[in-house]
């Protein structure tokens, strides 16, 4: 049984319906990539899993989210809070959403294992120092005493990863954890995070818009387009034989080493905005395979020869 | 700068260019100066795309503004088409400006949000003091709009009605209005989705062919720069680390190598093990007598701390500033 199983969830925020029929699962020890262009619904999907939708006035109108055998939808806030941090941890793009600027770094990490694992002050500190070192931060003791503003963006994000690991969670949800950082720092943090997650056998839901990061880190991939799942497939299949035209086109948009000049074309049209999603398949105005049926009817997410895809005309 | 580099085919020649910025008033706060661009020399060959790549804060935008003399240099020279920009009078400079234009990451940072597309595209002519009849204006705008692949229906739209990609097309059309020969593109696709970024790069490629343009293309994305550019200039902390004559050339500078190493290919069969660099990017205010990369370089030796490695020639068009280049 999957550690996390998300089945057909739809979300409303006021009059908007930003997510529709989102379906995917994550196994223990697996790294699942969630990709899509801006506005496709990646962050909202993360908020659903974390049970944080009510904070922005949103609600899940359909579907289920089952974590380790328990349906999270309808779970009282107090139980959700117990799960968050302890069993499911969030790493967001901006480390300062997780860090308190006026509390020393060490105290903030210590608090996590103190609260969720019941460690004594001394044991919690020892654990924090070990985690800081595992994130390859030099001079863990000095960092333990420092305040957030004394660290660079990359260091702060490493601290947030240490905090996420401190409670020994089963699942980490990382929403564009390195997008704001410089490329050399980004690559190092992805590498360290993947190593630590794999060593501990944790599941990771890695949200990114970067197909290079997906190719480097993930076992399986969910591709979102305009609030729906376009495709879910294994990492090899996604890149070698994608089942959805959008996946195929998206991959072609990234320049590869040695690619001939003039061969990068992009996808025609614009990324649709939530206030005017097209009828039928939402990719139809930009899809080179689109037929009349695509404009009338939304394709269902169905099993293909590998994975799942939502396309009327992709091969079986 | 190595004098043996052929410079005759270059549209722009940059020599020992430096720009300092100061902070603090020297009274309550100590006055500190930093060199955002530090002794940079490079050529921009005619009809080619020269890429400048480096992480944020390394001086790319400052270099862009210096090259167009939108910012005065503290030291050094920019020669555009044989003319030293620093010695041009205001009226000569205004004429030269027609030939050199800039495209920004946020195309509307320089345009009034209350202007329609039509008005935004006619603005450059106004600035140049060039009157147009209504019919001429319409013809010009029609032509510019179709050149960048926008629909004529958009002419009376306001920027907030356009998507990011459409706005950038307007930014490009505006830069092309006065028929320049040289464009400086400062991260023109950095805030766009990849499916739109690829469209814009495609557009820039065809415009360059059609109009015979020369580009200085600035980006932090090495895979994009390697695809789009004929030569690649790698910057770090205001300095040029390496100039690669083509995308196929393997970098031999340790920083350029690290940058390449950090670039994940969209191919799961080509995963890499990233070399962990120690240290952090130093503060721009740090006075570094030697190589700017010394604190993070796995090959650093004593001389690297003491002496700044000069930019020297390795091969045809291949330049490097390193005491101990990689094999
Ligand atoms: N708090 C909110 N209120 C209303 N709409 C929202 C809110 N957050 C996100 N949305 C909308 O939901 C869609 C998906 O957003 P998001 O999940 O943030 O996308 P992504 O993370 O993929 O860029 C977008 O159209 C966005 O405008
Ligand atoms: N007008 C300015 N005043 C003071 N410092 C500046 C100014 N413009 C840029 N800088 C500094 O110069 C350095 C280089 O900046 P910039 O050229 O914008 O880099 P990049 O475009 O590569 O990100 C940075 O440290 C930046 O803070
Ligand atoms: S359903 Fe039709 S429009 Fe949508 S992706 Fe498939 S072929 Fe294209
Ligand atoms: S000069 Fe020295 S420190 Fe700088 S890159 Fe070369 S070997 Fe490294
Ligand atoms: Mg997001
Ligand atoms: Mg810049």
Express each pLDDT in A50-104 by its tens digit.
Answer: 999 999 999 999 999 999 999 999 899 999 998 998 999 999 999 999 999 999 9
Chain A CB within 8 Å of residue B283 CB:
no
The pTM assigned to this predicted structure is 0.94
User: What percentage of chain B carries pLDDT values higher than 90?
Assistant: 80
pLDDT, position B279: 76
Any idea of the CA torsion for B67, B281, A96, A174, to the nearest 10 degrees? 100
Q: What is the ipTM of this complex?
A: 0.93
Question: Mean pLDDT over residues A185-202, rounded?
Answer: 94
Under an 8 A CB cutoff, do A155 and B280 touch?
yes
Chain B CB within 8 Å of residue A213 CB:
yes
Identity of the residue in B220, B247, B269 whose CB atom sits nearest the CB atom of A183: B220
Ligand 1 proximity of A43 Cβ (cutoff 6 Å)? yes
Question: Which of A252, A255, A267 should one mutate to test binding to chain B, selecting the residue with the greatest count of B CBs within 10 A?
Answer: A255
Who wins on pLDDT, B24 or A169? A169
Interface of A with B in 25-54 (CB under 8 A): 37-38
* Per-residue pLDDT at B7 exceeds 70: no
Q: Are B194 and A254 in contact (CB under 8 A)?
A: yes
Rounded Cα distance, A10 and A13, in Å: 10
Question: Which of A257, A267, A276, A283 should one mutate to test binding to chain B, selecting the residue with the greatest count of B CBs within 10 A?
Answer: A257
Chain A CB within 8 Å of residue B277 CB:
yes
Interface of B with A in 171-230 (CB under 8 A): 193-202, 205, 220-224, 226-228
CA-wise closest residue to B59 among B34, B37, B44: B37
* Per-residue pLDDT at A1 exceeds 90: no
Show residues of chain B in contact with A251, CB under 8 Å. 266
B259-318 residue pLDDT tens: 999 999 999 999 999 988 877 788 888 899 999 999 999 999 999 999 999 999 998 899
Q: Are A237 and A314 in contact (CB under 8 A)?
A: no
Pocket test for ligand 1, best of A9, A10, A39, A271 (most atoms within 8 A of CB): A39
Under an 8 A CB cutoff, do B263 and A212 touch?
yes
Please enumerate, as own/partner, the contacts of A123-126 that have beta carbons within 8 Å and a separation of 24 or more.
none
Q: Are B215 and B208 in contact (CB under 8 A)?
A: yes
């Amino acid at each position: 049984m999957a550690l996390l199983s998300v089945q057909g969830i739809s979300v409303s925020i006021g009059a908007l319906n930003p997510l529709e029929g989102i379906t995917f699962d994550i196994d223990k020890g697996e790294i699942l990539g969630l990709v899509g262009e801006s506005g496709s619904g990646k962050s909202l999907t993360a908020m659903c899993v974390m049970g944080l939708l009510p904070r922005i006035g949103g609600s899940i109108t359909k579907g289920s989210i089952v974590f380790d055998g328990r349906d999270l939808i309808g779970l009282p806030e107090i139980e959700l809070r117990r799960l968050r941090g302890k069993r499911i941890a969030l790493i967001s793009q901006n480390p300062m959403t997780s860090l308190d600027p006026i509390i020393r770094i060490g105290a903030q990490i210590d608090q996590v294992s103190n609260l969720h694992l019941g460690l004594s002050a001394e044991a919690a500190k020892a654990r924090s120092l070990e985690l800081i070192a595992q994130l390859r931060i030099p001079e863990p003791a000095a960092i333990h005493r420092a305040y957030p503003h004394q660290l660079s963006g990359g260091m702060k994000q490493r601290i947030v990863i240490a905090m996420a690991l401190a409670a020994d969670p089963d699942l980490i949800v990382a929403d564009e954890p390195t997008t704001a950082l410089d490329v050399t720092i980004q690559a190092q943090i992805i590498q360290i995070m993947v190593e630590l997650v794999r060593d501990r056998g944790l599941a990771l839901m890695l949200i990114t818009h970067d197909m290079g990061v997906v190719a480097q880190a993930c076992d399986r991939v969910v591709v979102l387009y305009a609030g729906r799942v376009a495709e879910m497939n294994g990492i090899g299949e996604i890149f070698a034989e994608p089942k959805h035209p959008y996946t195929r086109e998206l991959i072609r948009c990234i320049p590869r080493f040695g690619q001939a000049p003039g061969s990068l074309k992009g996808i025609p049209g614009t990324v649709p905005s939530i206030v005017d999603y097209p009828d039928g398949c939402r990719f139809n105005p930009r899809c080179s395979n689109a037929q009349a049926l695509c404009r009338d009817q939304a394709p269902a997410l169905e099993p293909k020869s590998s994975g799942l895809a939502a396309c009327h005309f992709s091969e079986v | 700068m190595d004098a043996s580099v052929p410079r005759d085919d270059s549209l722009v020649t940059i020599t020992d260019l430096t720009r300092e910025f100061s902070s603090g008033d020297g009274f309550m706060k100590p006055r500190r100066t930093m060199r955002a661009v530090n002794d940079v020399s490079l050529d921009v060959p005619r009809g080619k795309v020269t890429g400048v790549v480096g992480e944020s804060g390394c001086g790319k935008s400052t270099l862009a503004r210096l090259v167009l003399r939108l910012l005065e240099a503290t030291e050094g020279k920019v020669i555009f088409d044989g003319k030293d920009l620093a010695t041009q009078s205001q009226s000569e400079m205004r004429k030269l400006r027609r030939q050199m234009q800039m495209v920004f990451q946020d195309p509307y940072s320089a345009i009034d949000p209350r202007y329609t597309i039509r008005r935004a595209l006619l603005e450059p002519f106004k600035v140049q003091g060039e009157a147009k009849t209504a019919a001429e204006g319409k013809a010009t705008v029609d032509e510019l709009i179709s050149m960048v692949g926008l629909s004529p229906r958009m002419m009376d739209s306001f920027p907030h009605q356009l998507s990011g990609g459409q706005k950038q097309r307007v930014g490009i059309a505006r830069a092309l209005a006065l028929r320049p020969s040289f464009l400086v593109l400062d991260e023109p696709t950095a805030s766009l989705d990849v499916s739109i970024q690829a469209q814009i790069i495609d557009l820039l490629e065809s415009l360059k062919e059609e109009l015979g343009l020369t580009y200085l293309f600035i980006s932090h994305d090495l895979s994009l720069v390697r695809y789009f550019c004929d030569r690649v200039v790698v910057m770090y902390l205001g300095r040029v680390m390496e100039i690669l004559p083509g995308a196929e050339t393997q970098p031999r500078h340790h920083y350029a190598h690290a940058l390449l190493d950090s670039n994940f290919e969209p191919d799961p069969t080509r995963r890499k093990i990233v070399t962990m660099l120690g240290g952090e990017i130093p503060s721009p205010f740090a006075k570094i007598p030697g190589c700017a990369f010394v604190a993070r370089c796995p090959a650093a030796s004593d001389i690297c701390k003491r002496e700044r490695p000069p930019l020297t020639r390795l091969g045809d068009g291949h330049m490097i500033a390193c005491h101990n280049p990689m094999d």
